[in-house]
Amino acid sequence: MFHSLRKPDVLVATLAAAGILMVTMGVRQSLGLFVNPLMLSTGLGIATISLALAIGQFTWGAIQPIAGGLADRFGPHAVLIGGLVVMAIGSAITPFMTSGLGLVVSLGLLTAIGSGAGSFSVLIGAAAQRLPAVAHGSAAGVINAGGSFGQFVFAPILQKLIQAVGWMGTMWAMALITLAALPLAGALTKRVEAPAKHPEGDTGVLNAVAASLKNPSYLLLHAGFFTCGFHIAFLVTHLPGEVYLCGLPPSVASWSLAIIGLANIFGSLYAGSCVSKYRSKYVLAVMYGSRALLIAWYLLMPRTQLTYYLFAAGLGFTWLATVPPTAAIVGKLFGVRYLATLFGMTLLSHQLGGFFGAYLGGLAITQFGDYGWMWYADMTLAALAALVNLPIREAPVARSLAPA
């Protein structure tokens, strides 16, 4: 399945990208564990903290096309280095923030900007520019699995650190871990011996963006990815609160997040292999449809530890496994010359959904005392996402981006 990654230089670049994503996504997807400690320490309400994290969700998406455009124009090395440093600064100053505005600056802006600059659009774009076309699907699956492995590793470790040294010490530990990933940027951006040759013309990033926004399939892809962001942000932000409402210990939430990450390792690798076998739009439709069914199952089951762990395993298989087929569709439509930018724009749609998932969850618990309406909304949106992917046409339209 991954024979295209056997060359040492190809493998090193792919694993370096996976390692960077392991850190940036592992930290970012575990921030929900800090909600209750922040409430107790700062006295801020859950709606205020949810707003800061929701802004972080949107900021993470908004920086994707910007970081992708800079990487396409100037190269990914400086973008990745800058992103990791800014992310570390955001984590390091969070313990000194005691107001909602302070949390918006540290978690909503700095941490999110840094994490976004070292995330999917830049990493997958950098790998695609340096790997042969036959390796793109497998590489995207491996890189995505790195992010899932980060969630699997970071969630239980950070929960233990919060209990052992407090949330402030854990934030500073996260900053040091982020800086430790800096050498991986050099390993990724070192050019391979035989870089891939891509036929699409260099028309300029603005022309590529303008042409992509006229393509109906690209817009439908955005609509489905919006739902994915809503779903993921709601869960990573409010799953610990849902567990708390059920009277279960905090470890259930951290292990549920870890199980999601573990299951998504296999889901991401499987999704990467499916890209070369099936139409990516059908892969996405099945993933989104399965989420709607799993949420319906969860709402009917008693709230026990086993229910949460099974629910996490089921959702985890498709958690961020939507990334390889989504990136594959963008690549099929427009080629890889501006993949970092154009895929970054789909991630902006993803995180616009993430903003609403995180923030509306905080409003729901404040207004109604539970997350019931959020689960119904999540289930409905997942079903709609499955449907809007079906009309997508995956035929290449890169010729429309050629110079006049």
pLDDT of residue 195: 43
d(CA 306, CA 246): 13
pTM of the model: 0.72
Contact status, residue 69 vs residue 340, Cβ threshold 8 Å: yes
Task: Give the helix ranges, DSSP H, for 215-317.
Answer: 216-245, 250-274, 280-300, 305-316
Helices 339-368 + 205-212 axis angle, to 10 = 60
pLDDT of residue 84: 93
Cα-to-chain-centroid distance, residue 285 = 18
Query: Which of 59, 196, 181 has its CA nearest to residue 125?
Result: 196
pLDDT of residue 308: 92
pLDDT of residue 138: 67
Would you give per-residue pLDDT tens digits along the chain (404 residues)? 444 455 556 678 788 888 898 999 888 878 888 888 888 888 888 888 888 888 888 888 888 888 888 887 788 888 999 999 999 999 999 999 888 899 999 999 999 999 988 887 788 777 776 666 656 666 777 887 787 788 778 888 888 898 899 999 999 999 999 999 899 888 877 654 444 444 445 566 677 778 888 889 999 999 999 999 898 889 888 888 888 888 888 888 888 888 888 888 888 778 877 877 888 899 999 999 999 999 999 999 998 999 999 999 998 888 878 888 888 888 888 877 777 788 888 888 888 888 888 888 888 888 888 888 999 999 999 999 999 999 998 766 544 444 33
Conformation bin of residue 369: beta by default, left when phi > 0, alpha when psi is -120 to 50? left
Reading the block at residue 371, the tokens are 């997350």
Q: Which residue has the tokens 């929960």?
A: 159
d(CA 373, CA 361): 9
Reading the block at residue 75, the tokens are 């190269």
pLDDT of residue 249: 87
Reading the block at residue 313, the tokens are 């395993």
Contact status, residue 61 vs residue 347, Cβ threshold 8 Å: yes
pLDDT of residue 4: 47
Q: Which residue has the tokens 């995207």?
A: 140
Q: What domains can be seen in the chain, in order of their start residue? A: 3-191+203-401 (1.20.1250.20)
Q: For residue 194, what is the DSSP state?
A: S
Reading the block at residue 58, the tokens are 């949107």
pLDDT of residue 295: 94
d(CA 119, CA 63): 10
How deeply is 8 buried, as exposed, middle or buried, from its count of CB atoms within 10 A (0-12, 13-18, 19+)? Answer: exposed
